[in-house]
Structure 1
Amino acid sequence: MSEIEPPPEPAAEPPQSLQERIDAAHIRLPSRGNRKLQQLVDAVNADEQVKAWWHVAGVNAQRLGMSDHSWVHIQIVTNIALRLSRLLFKRGIVPSVVTDHGLTERDAEVVIAAASLFHCVGMSIQREDHERFSLFLTADKLPTLLRGIYDDPVRSVVVAEASHGIISHRTKGQPFTIEGAIVRVADALDMAKGRSRVPFEQLLPNIHSLSSYAIESVKILPGREKAVRVEIEMNNSAGIYQVDEGLGTKLRGTPLAEHLEVVARIDAEHEQRLVPVFRL
Protein backbone atom coordinates (compact mmCIF):
# COMPACT_ATOMS: atom_id res chain seq x y z
CA MET A 1 0.00 0.00 0.00
CA SER A 2 1.91 3.01 -1.22
CA GLU A 3 1.84 6.24 0.79
CA ILE A 4 0.91 4.41 3.99
CA GLU A 5 3.31 4.67 6.88
CA PRO A 6 4.34 1.16 7.99
CA PRO A 7 3.70 0.06 11.57
CA PRO A 8 6.73 0.58 13.80
CA GLU A 9 9.19 -2.25 14.27
CA PRO A 10 8.85 -3.94 17.66
CA ALA A 11 11.40 -2.73 20.18
CA ALA A 12 13.98 -5.17 21.52
CA GLU A 13 12.63 -4.50 25.01
CA PRO A 14 9.16 -3.01 25.38
CA PRO A 15 9.00 0.17 27.49
CA GLN A 16 8.19 -0.59 31.09
CA SER A 17 6.82 2.57 32.67
CA LEU A 18 3.48 4.12 31.82
CA GLN A 19 5.18 7.34 30.72
CA GLU A 20 7.49 5.45 28.37
CA ARG A 21 4.52 3.73 26.80
CA ILE A 22 2.71 7.04 26.36
CA ASP A 23 5.81 8.67 24.87
CA ALA A 24 6.20 5.80 22.39
CA ALA A 25 2.81 6.53 20.81
CA HIS A 26 3.33 8.76 17.79
CA ILE A 27 1.10 8.84 14.73
CA ARG A 28 2.71 9.20 11.32
CA LEU A 29 0.83 9.69 8.09
CA PRO A 30 1.34 11.36 4.69
CA SER A 31 -0.37 14.75 4.98
CA ARG A 32 0.59 15.63 1.38
CA GLY A 33 0.53 19.36 2.04
CA ASN A 34 -2.80 19.33 3.89
CA ARG A 35 -1.88 21.83 6.59
CA LYS A 36 -5.08 21.38 8.60
CA LEU A 37 -4.64 17.62 8.63
CA GLN A 38 -1.05 17.94 9.81
CA GLN A 39 -2.10 20.41 12.52
CA LEU A 40 -4.64 17.89 13.83
CA VAL A 41 -2.08 15.09 13.89
CA ASP A 42 0.46 17.33 15.65
CA ALA A 43 -2.15 18.28 18.24
CA VAL A 44 -3.07 14.64 18.86
CA ASN A 45 0.57 13.60 19.16
CA ALA A 46 1.08 16.30 21.79
CA ASP A 47 -1.98 15.26 23.82
CA GLU A 48 -1.13 12.80 26.58
CA GLN A 49 -4.77 12.19 27.45
CA VAL A 50 -5.57 10.86 23.98
CA LYS A 51 -2.43 8.70 24.03
CA ALA A 52 -3.40 7.40 27.48
CA TRP A 53 -6.79 6.34 26.07
CA TRP A 54 -5.03 4.48 23.25
CA HIS A 55 -2.79 2.79 25.80
CA VAL A 56 -5.67 1.60 28.00
CA ALA A 57 -7.64 0.49 24.92
CA GLY A 58 -4.67 -1.65 23.94
CA VAL A 59 -4.39 -3.11 27.42
CA ASN A 60 -8.09 -3.96 27.49
CA ALA A 61 -7.78 -5.70 24.13
CA GLN A 62 -4.93 -7.80 25.56
CA ARG A 63 -7.01 -8.61 28.63
CA LEU A 64 -9.79 -9.87 26.36
CA GLY A 65 -7.46 -11.82 24.04
CA MET A 66 -8.36 -9.60 21.11
CA SER A 67 -6.27 -8.27 18.24
CA ASP A 68 -4.44 -5.00 18.83
CA HIS A 69 -6.42 -1.85 19.66
CA SER A 70 -3.51 0.34 20.74
CA TRP A 71 -2.10 3.38 18.94
CA VAL A 72 -0.55 1.01 16.39
CA HIS A 73 -4.03 -0.02 15.23
CA ILE A 74 -4.97 3.66 15.15
CA GLN A 75 -2.04 4.50 12.89
CA ILE A 76 -2.79 1.63 10.52
CA VAL A 77 -6.50 2.46 10.23
CA THR A 78 -5.88 6.20 9.74
CA ASN A 79 -3.34 5.53 6.99
CA ILE A 80 -5.65 3.04 5.27
CA ALA A 81 -8.54 5.51 5.48
CA LEU A 82 -6.48 8.27 3.88
CA ARG A 83 -5.26 5.90 1.17
CA LEU A 84 -8.84 4.89 0.37
CA SER A 85 -10.07 8.47 0.37
CA ARG A 86 -7.40 9.74 -2.00
CA LEU A 87 -7.97 6.93 -4.48
CA LEU A 88 -11.73 7.51 -4.35
CA PHE A 89 -11.51 11.29 -4.68
CA LYS A 90 -9.08 10.94 -7.59
CA ARG A 91 -11.71 8.88 -9.43
CA GLY A 92 -14.36 11.52 -8.92
CA ILE A 93 -16.18 10.22 -5.84
CA VAL A 94 -17.21 13.43 -4.05
CA PRO A 95 -16.96 13.56 -0.23
CA SER A 96 -20.18 14.22 1.64
CA VAL A 97 -18.79 17.35 3.33
CA VAL A 98 -18.24 18.82 -0.12
CA THR A 99 -21.71 17.92 -1.38
CA ASP A 100 -23.63 18.86 1.76
CA HIS A 101 -21.60 21.64 3.39
CA GLY A 102 -19.56 23.21 0.62
CA LEU A 103 -16.27 22.24 2.24
CA THR A 104 -13.23 20.81 0.43
CA GLU A 105 -11.63 17.41 -0.11
CA ARG A 106 -8.92 18.45 2.33
CA ASP A 107 -11.56 19.11 4.96
CA ALA A 108 -12.91 15.63 4.21
CA GLU A 109 -9.44 14.23 4.96
CA VAL A 110 -9.54 15.97 8.35
CA VAL A 111 -12.96 14.45 9.08
CA ILE A 112 -11.74 10.98 8.06
CA ALA A 113 -8.53 11.25 10.07
CA ALA A 114 -10.33 12.57 13.15
CA ALA A 115 -12.84 9.71 13.07
CA SER A 116 -10.04 7.18 12.56
CA LEU A 117 -7.93 8.61 15.38
CA PHE A 118 -10.84 8.45 17.84
CA HIS A 119 -12.86 5.50 16.57
CA CYS A 120 -11.97 3.09 19.37
CA VAL A 121 -10.84 5.27 22.30
CA GLY A 122 -13.99 3.97 24.00
CA MET A 123 -12.21 0.63 24.35
CA SER A 124 -10.41 2.29 27.24
CA ILE A 125 -13.73 2.07 29.12
CA GLN A 126 -15.42 -1.09 27.87
CA ARG A 127 -15.44 -3.34 24.81
CA GLU A 128 -19.21 -3.68 24.59
CA ASP A 129 -20.73 -0.58 23.02
CA HIS A 130 -17.27 0.99 22.86
CA GLU A 131 -18.29 3.06 19.84
CA ARG A 132 -20.72 5.06 21.99
CA PHE A 133 -18.07 5.50 24.67
CA SER A 134 -15.76 6.77 21.93
CA LEU A 135 -18.32 9.45 21.10
CA PHE A 136 -18.54 10.39 24.79
CA LEU A 137 -14.77 10.93 25.01
CA THR A 138 -14.54 12.64 21.63
CA ALA A 139 -17.31 15.16 22.31
CA ASP A 140 -15.12 17.50 24.37
CA LYS A 141 -11.66 16.52 23.18
CA LEU A 142 -12.00 16.91 19.41
CA PRO A 143 -13.36 20.49 19.48
CA THR A 144 -10.41 21.42 21.69
CA LEU A 145 -7.90 19.86 19.32
CA LEU A 146 -9.52 21.61 16.34
CA ARG A 147 -9.45 25.02 17.99
CA GLY A 148 -7.03 27.15 16.01
CA ILE A 149 -7.55 24.96 12.95
CA TYR A 150 -11.23 25.75 12.34
CA ASP A 151 -13.63 28.39 13.59
CA ASP A 152 -17.32 27.78 14.09
CA PRO A 153 -19.54 26.88 12.39
CA VAL A 154 -17.07 24.78 10.37
CA ARG A 155 -15.46 23.31 13.48
CA SER A 156 -18.81 21.98 14.74
CA VAL A 157 -19.58 20.52 11.31
CA VAL A 158 -16.21 18.72 11.24
CA VAL A 159 -16.81 17.35 14.76
CA ALA A 160 -20.32 16.16 13.86
CA GLU A 161 -19.19 14.45 10.65
CA ALA A 162 -16.22 12.81 12.40
CA SER A 163 -18.58 11.59 15.14
CA HIS A 164 -20.77 9.99 12.49
CA GLY A 165 -17.66 8.21 11.20
CA ILE A 166 -16.92 6.92 14.70
CA ILE A 167 -20.37 5.48 15.37
CA SER A 168 -20.56 4.08 11.82
CA HIS A 169 -17.79 1.54 12.45
CA ARG A 170 -19.87 -0.48 14.93
CA THR A 171 -21.12 -3.90 13.89
CA LYS A 172 -24.52 -2.69 12.74
CA GLY A 173 -23.37 0.78 11.80
CA GLN A 174 -25.06 2.23 8.75
CA PRO A 175 -22.93 5.09 7.42
CA PHE A 176 -24.75 7.45 5.12
CA THR A 177 -21.70 9.56 4.29
CA ILE A 178 -18.69 8.74 2.13
CA GLU A 179 -16.41 9.67 5.02
CA GLY A 180 -18.20 7.40 7.50
CA ALA A 181 -18.08 4.49 5.05
CA ILE A 182 -14.34 5.01 4.50
CA VAL A 183 -13.64 4.81 8.24
CA ARG A 184 -15.84 1.71 8.60
CA VAL A 185 -14.07 -0.12 5.77
CA ALA A 186 -10.59 1.06 6.83
CA ASP A 187 -11.12 -0.44 10.28
CA ALA A 188 -12.06 -3.77 8.70
CA LEU A 189 -8.99 -3.69 6.42
CA ASP A 190 -6.58 -3.80 9.37
CA MET A 191 -6.54 -7.57 9.06
CA ALA A 192 -3.02 -8.55 7.95
CA LYS A 193 -0.99 -10.50 10.47
CA GLY A 194 2.08 -8.73 11.81
CA ARG A 195 2.96 -6.12 14.41
CA SER A 196 -0.65 -5.30 15.27
CA ARG A 197 -1.85 -8.89 15.71
CA VAL A 198 -2.12 -10.84 18.92
CA PRO A 199 0.18 -13.86 18.54
CA PHE A 200 -1.82 -16.83 17.30
CA GLU A 201 -0.63 -18.99 20.19
CA GLN A 202 -2.36 -16.63 22.65
CA LEU A 203 -5.75 -16.89 20.98
CA LEU A 204 -8.41 -19.50 21.56
CA PRO A 205 -8.62 -21.82 18.53
CA ASN A 206 -11.85 -20.62 16.94
CA ILE A 207 -12.92 -19.44 13.51
CA HIS A 208 -12.09 -15.82 14.40
CA SER A 209 -8.48 -16.51 15.39
CA LEU A 210 -7.91 -19.04 12.60
CA SER A 211 -9.31 -16.68 9.99
CA SER A 212 -7.32 -13.70 11.27
CA TYR A 213 -4.07 -15.63 11.19
CA ALA A 214 -4.74 -16.79 7.62
CA ILE A 215 -4.45 -13.24 6.20
CA GLU A 216 -0.95 -12.63 4.89
CA SER A 217 -1.21 -9.20 3.30
CA VAL A 218 -3.62 -6.51 2.17
CA LYS A 219 -2.93 -4.21 -0.78
CA ILE A 220 -5.03 -1.17 -1.66
CA LEU A 221 -4.60 -0.22 -5.30
CA PRO A 222 -6.21 1.96 -7.96
CA GLY A 223 -8.98 -0.04 -9.57
CA ARG A 224 -9.84 -0.57 -13.21
CA GLU A 225 -13.59 -0.97 -13.43
CA LYS A 226 -14.06 0.41 -9.92
CA ALA A 227 -12.21 3.19 -8.11
CA VAL A 228 -10.34 0.94 -5.67
CA ARG A 229 -9.10 -2.64 -5.85
CA VAL A 230 -8.31 -4.44 -2.59
CA GLU A 231 -6.11 -7.51 -2.99
CA ILE A 232 -5.88 -9.90 -0.04
CA GLU A 233 -3.38 -12.74 0.13
CA MET A 234 -4.29 -15.70 2.34
CA ASN A 235 -2.24 -18.70 3.44
CA ASN A 236 -5.33 -20.73 4.27
CA SER A 237 -8.94 -20.82 3.12
CA ALA A 238 -10.02 -20.04 6.69
CA GLY A 239 -9.23 -16.44 5.81
CA ILE A 240 -12.41 -16.30 3.71
CA TYR A 241 -14.38 -15.92 6.93
CA GLN A 242 -12.38 -12.81 7.81
CA VAL A 243 -12.87 -11.38 4.33
CA ASP A 244 -16.57 -12.16 3.99
CA GLU A 245 -17.87 -11.75 7.54
CA GLY A 246 -15.40 -9.06 8.56
CA LEU A 247 -14.75 -6.84 5.57
CA GLY A 248 -17.80 -7.91 3.57
CA THR A 249 -20.20 -7.13 6.40
CA LYS A 250 -18.70 -3.67 6.84
CA LEU A 251 -18.66 -2.89 3.12
CA ARG A 252 -22.07 -4.12 2.00
CA GLY A 253 -24.79 -1.51 2.06
CA THR A 254 -22.41 1.45 2.40
CA PRO A 255 -21.85 4.25 -0.12
CA LEU A 256 -18.51 2.58 -0.97
CA ALA A 257 -19.87 -0.81 -1.98
CA GLU A 258 -20.15 0.13 -5.65
CA HIS A 259 -16.68 1.68 -5.74
CA LEU A 260 -14.54 -1.13 -4.22
CA GLU A 261 -13.50 -4.44 -5.74
CA VAL A 262 -12.19 -7.01 -3.26
CA VAL A 263 -10.22 -10.03 -4.46
CA ALA A 264 -8.83 -12.61 -2.01
CA ARG A 265 -6.38 -15.27 -3.17
CA ILE A 266 -4.99 -18.34 -1.46
CA ASP A 267 -1.23 -18.72 -1.80
CA ALA A 268 -0.43 -22.00 -0.08
CA GLU A 269 1.47 -24.89 -1.69
CA HIS A 270 0.12 -27.63 0.52
CA GLU A 271 -3.53 -26.70 0.88
CA GLN A 272 -6.28 -28.17 -1.25
CA ARG A 273 -7.60 -25.02 -2.93
CA LEU A 274 -11.33 -25.36 -2.58
CA VAL A 275 -11.73 -21.66 -3.44
CA PRO A 276 -8.58 -20.30 -5.11
CA VAL A 277 -10.05 -16.82 -5.64
CA PHE A 278 -12.82 -15.20 -3.56
CA ARG A 279 -14.50 -11.95 -4.59
CA LEU A 280 -16.81 -9.59 -2.80
Structure 2
Amino acid sequence: MKSQKEHSVSKQLLGLLEKGSDSYRLAQMLLEDEEIEALQEYGNTVSIKRLNYNDHGPVHMRQVACNGVKMLSLLREAEVPTSIVNENSGTYEDSLCALLLASFVHDLGMSVSRTEHELTGLIIARPIMDRILKALFPEEMGRRIAIISVATEGVLGHMASRKVYSIEAGLLLVADGCDMEKGRARIPLSITTAPKTGDIHKYSANSIEKVTISKGEEHPIMIDVSMSSDVGFFQIEEVLLPKIMMSSAKEYVEVYAGVLGQPKKRYL
Protein backbone atom coordinates (compact mmCIF):
# COMPACT_ATOMS: atom_id res chain seq x y z
CA MET A 1 0.00 0.00 0.00
CA LYS A 2 1.42 3.37 -1.01
CA SER A 3 2.21 5.85 1.76
CA GLN A 4 0.91 9.40 1.92
CA LYS A 5 4.44 10.66 1.26
CA GLU A 6 4.74 8.48 -1.83
CA HIS A 7 1.44 9.80 -3.18
CA SER A 8 2.55 13.38 -2.45
CA VAL A 9 5.90 13.07 -4.24
CA SER A 10 4.27 11.25 -7.18
CA LYS A 11 1.78 14.11 -7.55
CA GLN A 12 4.61 16.63 -7.34
CA LEU A 13 6.51 14.84 -10.10
CA LEU A 14 3.57 14.83 -12.50
CA GLY A 15 3.02 18.52 -11.71
CA LEU A 16 6.54 19.30 -12.93
CA LEU A 17 5.91 17.73 -16.34
CA GLU A 18 3.85 18.95 -19.28
CA LYS A 19 0.60 17.02 -19.29
CA GLY A 20 0.31 14.76 -22.33
CA SER A 21 4.01 14.97 -23.19
CA ASP A 22 6.15 11.87 -23.69
CA SER A 23 7.86 12.46 -20.36
CA TYR A 24 4.49 12.80 -18.60
CA ARG A 25 3.27 9.53 -20.13
CA LEU A 26 6.52 7.82 -19.15
CA ALA A 27 6.24 9.12 -15.59
CA GLN A 28 2.71 7.71 -15.38
CA MET A 29 3.93 4.33 -16.59
CA LEU A 30 6.80 4.31 -14.10
CA LEU A 31 4.52 5.31 -11.23
CA GLU A 32 2.02 2.58 -12.06
CA ASP A 33 4.49 -0.24 -12.80
CA GLU A 34 3.96 -3.02 -10.25
CA GLU A 35 7.35 -4.66 -10.80
CA ILE A 36 9.25 -1.41 -10.22
CA GLU A 37 7.15 -0.69 -7.13
CA ALA A 38 7.78 -4.15 -5.65
CA LEU A 39 11.53 -3.93 -6.29
CA GLN A 40 11.70 -0.46 -4.77
CA GLU A 41 9.81 -1.63 -1.69
CA TYR A 42 12.05 -4.64 -1.14
CA GLY A 43 15.12 -2.53 -1.76
CA ASN A 44 13.92 -0.32 1.08
CA THR A 45 13.49 -3.36 3.31
CA VAL A 46 17.10 -4.36 2.68
CA SER A 47 18.34 -0.80 3.19
CA ILE A 48 16.46 -0.03 6.39
CA LYS A 49 15.86 -3.33 8.19
CA ARG A 50 18.93 -5.27 7.13
CA LEU A 51 21.58 -2.57 6.72
CA ASN A 52 20.18 0.20 8.97
CA TYR A 53 20.62 2.76 6.17
CA ASN A 54 18.22 5.51 5.20
CA ASP A 55 15.42 5.37 2.62
CA HIS A 56 16.32 3.81 -0.74
CA GLY A 57 12.77 2.96 -1.77
CA PRO A 58 9.82 4.39 -3.72
CA VAL A 59 9.79 7.80 -2.05
CA HIS A 60 13.54 8.28 -2.55
CA MET A 61 13.45 7.36 -6.24
CA ARG A 62 10.47 9.60 -6.87
CA GLN A 63 12.17 12.47 -5.06
CA VAL A 64 15.32 11.98 -7.14
CA ALA A 65 13.12 12.18 -10.25
CA CYS A 66 11.62 15.46 -9.01
CA ASN A 67 15.07 16.87 -8.29
CA GLY A 68 16.34 15.84 -11.71
CA VAL A 69 13.37 17.32 -13.57
CA LYS A 70 13.84 20.65 -11.74
CA MET A 71 17.53 20.75 -12.61
CA LEU A 72 17.02 19.82 -16.24
CA SER A 73 14.38 22.54 -16.52
CA LEU A 74 16.83 25.10 -15.12
CA LEU A 75 19.46 24.04 -17.66
CA ARG A 76 16.95 24.36 -20.46
CA GLU A 77 15.99 27.82 -19.22
CA ALA A 78 19.69 28.75 -19.31
CA GLU A 79 19.92 27.34 -22.87
CA VAL A 80 22.38 24.62 -21.85
CA PRO A 81 21.87 21.70 -24.26
CA THR A 82 21.68 18.16 -22.98
CA SER A 83 24.00 15.52 -24.40
CA ILE A 84 21.23 13.86 -26.38
CA VAL A 85 20.31 17.21 -27.94
CA ASN A 86 23.89 18.35 -28.47
CA GLU A 87 24.76 15.10 -30.25
CA ASN A 88 21.65 15.28 -32.46
CA SER A 89 20.46 11.99 -31.01
CA GLY A 90 17.10 13.25 -29.79
CA THR A 91 15.16 16.03 -28.11
CA TYR A 92 14.86 17.62 -24.69
CA GLU A 93 11.93 15.26 -24.06
CA ASP A 94 14.22 12.31 -24.73
CA SER A 95 16.72 13.65 -22.18
CA LEU A 96 13.89 14.05 -19.71
CA CYS A 97 12.76 10.48 -20.37
CA ALA A 98 16.31 9.17 -19.82
CA LEU A 99 16.57 11.04 -16.52
CA LEU A 100 13.16 9.80 -15.36
CA LEU A 101 14.03 6.20 -16.22
CA ALA A 102 17.37 6.37 -14.41
CA SER A 103 15.80 8.00 -11.36
CA PHE A 104 13.19 5.28 -10.96
CA VAL A 105 15.57 2.33 -11.30
CA HIS A 106 18.95 3.57 -10.04
CA ASP A 107 18.64 1.87 -6.64
CA LEU A 108 16.87 -1.34 -7.65
CA GLY A 109 20.10 -3.21 -6.88
CA MET A 110 19.46 -2.47 -3.21
CA SER A 111 16.90 -5.27 -3.39
CA VAL A 112 19.92 -7.62 -3.43
CA SER A 113 22.72 -5.84 -1.56
CA ARG A 114 24.36 -2.44 -1.21
CA THR A 115 27.70 -3.75 -2.48
CA GLU A 116 28.00 -2.66 -6.13
CA HIS A 117 24.24 -2.23 -6.23
CA GLU A 118 24.58 -0.04 -9.31
CA LEU A 119 25.84 -3.09 -11.24
CA THR A 120 23.30 -5.49 -9.78
CA GLY A 121 20.63 -2.90 -10.41
CA LEU A 122 21.42 -2.75 -14.11
CA ILE A 123 20.96 -6.51 -14.45
CA ILE A 124 17.52 -6.07 -12.91
CA ALA A 125 16.62 -2.78 -14.59
CA ARG A 126 17.61 -3.17 -18.25
CA PRO A 127 14.78 -5.58 -19.16
CA ILE A 128 12.31 -3.35 -17.31
CA MET A 129 13.50 -0.20 -19.08
CA ASP A 130 13.34 -2.01 -22.41
CA ARG A 131 9.80 -3.25 -21.71
CA ILE A 132 8.54 0.21 -20.78
CA LEU A 133 10.18 2.05 -23.67
CA LYS A 134 8.87 -0.49 -26.20
CA ALA A 135 5.38 0.19 -24.91
CA LEU A 136 5.92 3.98 -25.08
CA PHE A 137 7.79 4.16 -28.41
CA PRO A 138 7.00 0.87 -30.22
CA GLU A 139 8.13 2.04 -33.67
CA GLU A 140 11.18 4.13 -32.68
CA MET A 141 14.10 1.83 -31.96
CA GLY A 142 16.78 4.51 -32.40
CA ARG A 143 15.02 6.75 -29.93
CA ARG A 144 14.69 3.92 -27.43
CA ILE A 145 18.39 3.08 -27.75
CA ALA A 146 19.50 6.66 -27.06
CA ILE A 147 17.22 6.99 -24.01
CA ILE A 148 18.07 3.62 -22.48
CA SER A 149 21.79 4.08 -23.07
CA VAL A 150 21.90 7.43 -21.30
CA ALA A 151 19.72 6.10 -18.48
CA THR A 152 22.09 3.14 -18.12
CA GLU A 153 25.07 5.47 -17.81
CA GLY A 154 23.24 7.31 -15.05
CA VAL A 155 22.53 4.14 -13.07
CA LEU A 156 26.08 2.89 -13.52
CA GLY A 157 27.63 6.15 -12.34
CA HIS A 158 25.26 7.27 -9.59
CA MET A 159 27.59 6.20 -6.76
CA ALA A 160 30.31 8.58 -8.02
CA SER A 161 32.74 5.69 -8.37
CA ARG A 162 32.75 5.80 -12.18
CA LYS A 163 33.12 8.78 -14.48
CA VAL A 164 30.00 9.81 -16.36
CA TYR A 165 30.04 11.98 -19.47
CA SER A 166 26.48 12.83 -20.47
CA ILE A 167 24.77 15.83 -18.88
CA GLU A 168 21.75 13.66 -18.13
CA ALA A 169 23.78 11.08 -16.16
CA GLY A 170 25.58 13.91 -14.38
CA LEU A 171 22.29 15.39 -13.26
CA LEU A 172 21.21 12.05 -11.79
CA LEU A 173 24.30 12.13 -9.55
CA VAL A 174 23.38 15.56 -8.23
CA ALA A 175 19.66 14.81 -7.95
CA ASP A 176 20.43 11.67 -5.96
CA GLY A 177 22.75 13.53 -3.61
CA CYS A 178 20.15 16.23 -3.01
CA ASP A 179 17.64 13.81 -1.48
CA MET A 180 18.79 14.26 2.09
CA GLU A 181 16.01 16.02 4.00
CA LYS A 182 15.21 14.65 7.45
CA GLY A 183 12.17 12.70 6.27
CA ARG A 184 14.53 10.30 4.55
CA ALA A 185 15.83 9.19 7.96
CA ARG A 186 12.43 8.96 9.68
CA ILE A 187 11.91 5.21 9.30
CA PRO A 188 15.40 4.00 10.28
CA LEU A 189 15.43 6.34 13.28
CA SER A 190 12.15 4.83 14.50
CA ILE A 191 13.75 1.40 14.68
CA THR A 192 15.63 0.84 17.95
CA THR A 193 18.93 -0.95 17.27
CA ALA A 194 22.40 -1.18 18.69
CA PRO A 195 24.92 1.17 17.02
CA LYS A 196 26.13 -0.13 13.69
CA THR A 197 27.58 0.84 10.32
CA GLY A 198 25.27 3.28 8.55
CA ASP A 199 24.12 5.21 11.65
CA ILE A 200 25.86 8.42 10.53
CA HIS A 201 23.75 8.42 7.35
CA LYS A 202 20.45 8.40 9.20
CA TYR A 203 21.49 10.92 11.88
CA SER A 204 23.05 13.34 9.43
CA ALA A 205 20.03 13.08 7.12
CA ASN A 206 17.75 13.75 10.09
CA SER A 207 19.44 17.11 10.66
CA ILE A 208 18.75 18.37 7.13
CA GLU A 209 15.71 20.61 7.33
CA LYS A 210 15.37 21.82 3.75
CA VAL A 211 17.01 21.38 0.37
CA THR A 212 16.01 23.99 -2.21
CA ILE A 213 16.79 23.72 -5.91
CA SER A 214 16.44 27.00 -7.78
CA LYS A 215 18.04 29.31 -10.31
CA GLY A 216 21.55 30.30 -9.24
CA GLU A 217 23.18 33.70 -9.15
CA GLU A 218 26.24 32.68 -11.15
CA HIS A 219 25.24 29.25 -12.44
CA PRO A 220 21.97 27.80 -13.77
CA ILE A 221 21.39 25.59 -10.71
CA MET A 222 21.62 26.59 -7.06
CA ILE A 223 21.36 24.04 -4.25
CA ASP A 224 20.63 25.59 -0.86
CA VAL A 225 20.76 23.35 2.23
CA SER A 226 19.49 24.33 5.69
CA MET A 227 20.23 22.08 8.69
CA SER A 228 19.44 21.97 12.39
CA SER A 229 22.90 20.83 13.54
CA ASP A 230 26.48 20.46 12.39
CA VAL A 231 26.13 16.71 11.80
CA GLY A 232 24.32 17.63 8.60
CA PHE A 233 27.64 18.71 7.09
CA PHE A 234 28.41 14.99 6.74
CA GLN A 235 25.68 14.78 4.13
CA ILE A 236 27.11 17.76 2.26
CA GLU A 237 30.78 16.84 2.39
CA GLU A 238 30.63 13.04 2.22
CA VAL A 239 27.55 12.44 0.06
CA LEU A 240 26.52 15.47 -2.03
CA LEU A 241 29.87 17.07 -2.89
CA PRO A 242 31.58 13.86 -4.09
CA LYS A 243 28.64 13.27 -6.41
CA ILE A 244 28.79 16.82 -7.75
CA MET A 245 32.56 16.66 -8.23
CA MET A 246 32.17 13.49 -10.31
CA SER A 247 29.25 14.93 -12.24
CA SER A 248 29.50 16.08 -15.83
CA ALA A 249 27.09 18.85 -14.84
CA LYS A 250 29.20 20.29 -11.99
CA GLU A 251 30.08 23.48 -13.92
CA TYR A 252 26.38 24.41 -13.86
CA VAL A 253 25.89 24.05 -10.09
CA GLU A 254 26.51 26.24 -7.04
CA VAL A 255 26.01 24.99 -3.46
CA TYR A 256 25.26 26.77 -0.19
CA ALA A 257 24.78 25.12 3.21
CA GLY A 258 24.55 26.09 6.86
CA VAL A 259 22.92 25.62 10.24
CA LEU A 260 19.68 27.56 10.73
CA GLY A 261 20.35 31.01 12.16
CA GLN A 262 24.00 31.01 11.10
CA PRO A 263 25.68 32.35 7.94
CA LYS A 264 25.70 29.82 5.09
CA LYS A 265 28.89 28.50 3.60
CA ARG A 266 29.38 28.47 -0.13
CA TYR A 267 30.94 25.21 -1.27
CA LEU A 268 30.83 25.66 -5.06
Judge same fold: TM > 0.5, yes or no. Answer: yes
Amino acid at match of 1:227: P
CA contact (8 A) 2:64 2:175 kept: yes
Q: Aligned residues, how many?
A: 256
Give the deviation of 1:213 after TM superposition: 2.1
Q: Does 1:61 align with 2:47?
A: yes
Q: Does 1:122 align with 2:109?
A: yes
CA contact (8 A) 2:185 2:206 kept: no
Q: Counterparts in 2 of 1:113-262, with a 5 A limit?
A: 113-150=100-137, 151-194=140-183, 197-200=186-189, 202=191, 204=195, 207-262=200-255
**TM-score normalised to structure 1 length:** 0.84
1:108-128 C-alpha deviation (Å, 9 max, x unpaired): 100100000110111111111
SS of residue matched to 2:248: coil
Matching residue within 66, 83, 87 for 2:70: 83
Please list every run of 5 or more consecutive structure 1 residues that lacks an aligned counterpart in the other structure.
Answer: 1-6, 12-23
Identical aligned pairs, as a percentage? 25
Higher share in helix? 2
1:19-40 C-alpha deviation (Å, 9 max, x unpaired): xxxxx89944122246211222
Matching residue within 35, 41, 49 for 2:21: 35
| Structure 1 residue aligned with 2:36 | 50
Q: Which is worse superposed, 250-259 or 129-138?
A: 250-259
SS of residue matched to 2:103: helix
Runs (4 or more) in structure 1 with deviation over 4 Å come to none
Q: Which is worse superposed, 84-93 or 208-217?
A: 208-217
SS of residue matched to 2:93: helix
Amino acid at match of 1:181: G
**TM-score normalised to structure 2 length:** 0.87
CA contact (8 A) 1:222 1:228 kept: yes
CA contact (8 A) 1:185 1:250 kept: yes
Please list every run of 5 or more consecutive structure 2 residues that lacks an aligned counterpart in the other structure.
Answer: none
> 1:108 and 1:199 mapped to 2: Cα distance?
34
CA contact (8 A) 2:154 2:170 kept: yes
CA distance 1:196–1:38, shift in 2 (3 Å): farther
Amino acid at match of 1:219: T
CA distance 1:248–1:65, shift in 2 (3 Å): same
1:188-210 C-alpha deviation (Å, 9 max, x unpaired): 10001026643535474854343
> 1:124 and 1:210 mapped to 2: Cα distance?
23
Give the deviation of 1:267 after TM superposition: 1.1
